[in-house]
Amino acid sequence: PFSFSCKTPFSAGQRKAGVDKGPIHLVEAGLVDQLTEIGWKVKFDGHHQFEEVSAADDPQIGKLRNPRLVSRVTEAVAKAVGEHVQNGELPVTLGGDHSLAMGTISGTLSKYPDACVIWVDAHADINTPETTDSGNIHGMPVSFLLGLEGTKIPEFSWIKPLLTPDRLVYIGLRDIDDGEKKILKEHNIKAFSMHEVDKYGIGKVVELALDHVNAKRDRPIHLSFDVDAMDPTVAPSTGTPVRGGLTFREGHYICEAVQETGLLVAFDLVEVNPSLADAASVQATVAVGCSLVRAALGETLL
């Protein structure tokens, strides 16, 4: 089997320095060798360097911050991921902030237009340029992928909104803005918050999530995993931590269960920010990140 690892050091979708350094920490922790050890032929195409767009040339568009840089990088990611899925490889994209998912999911949909998306996150990342309060585009990728009102701006004209609400499901939500709550309701988007995780247990939640977006288990799956879905005691070094998150095992169960379907075609692991905490916390977060990737790619306990 082929996997391909695209390290995408990117941080312009938010404001905290350091999240672009996440990928290198994961690779330096030995992730490429770890994936090789579980049977993958890993093509590591290096740390994507992106030509910088100077802030002077990238004034805000409305509230959007770094719009041209984010658009340019995510378009490049869409191309790279698209090529790898066309080659029958499984792209593993390590972020960097979650705006990257505009690129990775666009790439996946270019080959698998009927793919479903499982979005594991404390946040819904579905603000539009109008509803956002921060202007940080890492809080908006899903609205652009769905082509929601207000997302059709010229700078992002490359995005073909191929994702539809019925093929998206969330697990782990616990910090949703009012505008996002409205959008989720309006579009009937299925979300299993931490309340449902408590109520049903993670096993049932994953089963219900798959039943919703992949009833016949015949759709390719793109798993987009924001490390802040995990409880901050498990993955502390991330830009927008929210208490009351997934345990180490719940996070791994999601990855193991998705892997078990045999339908996984692309995986993102984002928002590891190694500059936000002490060395031990960074090390712990990086180790959990690597472990989640291994679980999504087939590492089993037995």
Ligand X SMILES: N[C@](CCCC[B-](O)(O)O)(CCN1CCCCC1)C(=O)O
Known catalytic residue at 166: no
Judged by CB under 6 A, the chain residues 162 through 201 that form the site for ligand X are 177
Judged by CB under 6 A, the chain residues 213 through 232 that form the site for ligand X are 226, 228
104 is a site residue for ligand X (CB under 6 A): no
Residue least distant from ligand X (Cβ): 139
271 is a site residue for ligand X (CB under 6 A): yes
Residues in contact with Mn ion, shown as a per-residue x/- string from 48 to 87 under the rule CB under 5 A: ----------------------------------------
Q: Buried b / exposed e across 163-185, counting CB within 10 Å, b at 16+?
A: bebebbbbbbbbbbbebbeebbe
Output the smallest distance, CB 302 to Mn ion, in A.
Answer: 31
CA angle 33, 275, 28 (to 5 degrees): 15
Known catalytic residue at 212: no
Judged by CB under 5 A, the chain residues 207 through 236 that form the site for Mn ion are 226, 228
Known catalytic residue at 121: yes
Residue of the chain from 20, 58, 89, 125 that contacts ligand X (CB under 6 A): 125
Enter the tokens of residue 4. 């391909």
The Cα 120–Cα 22 span in angstroms is 18
Residue of the chain from 58, 125, 180, 268 that contacts Mn ion (CB under 5 A): 125
Name the residues that contact Mn ion, by CB under 5 A.
98, 121-123, 125, 226, 228
Name the residues that contact ligand X, by CB under 6 A.
98, 121, 123, 125, 127, 132-134, 136, 138-139, 177, 226, 228, 239-240, 271
Active site residues: 98, 121, 123, 125, 138, 226, 228, 271
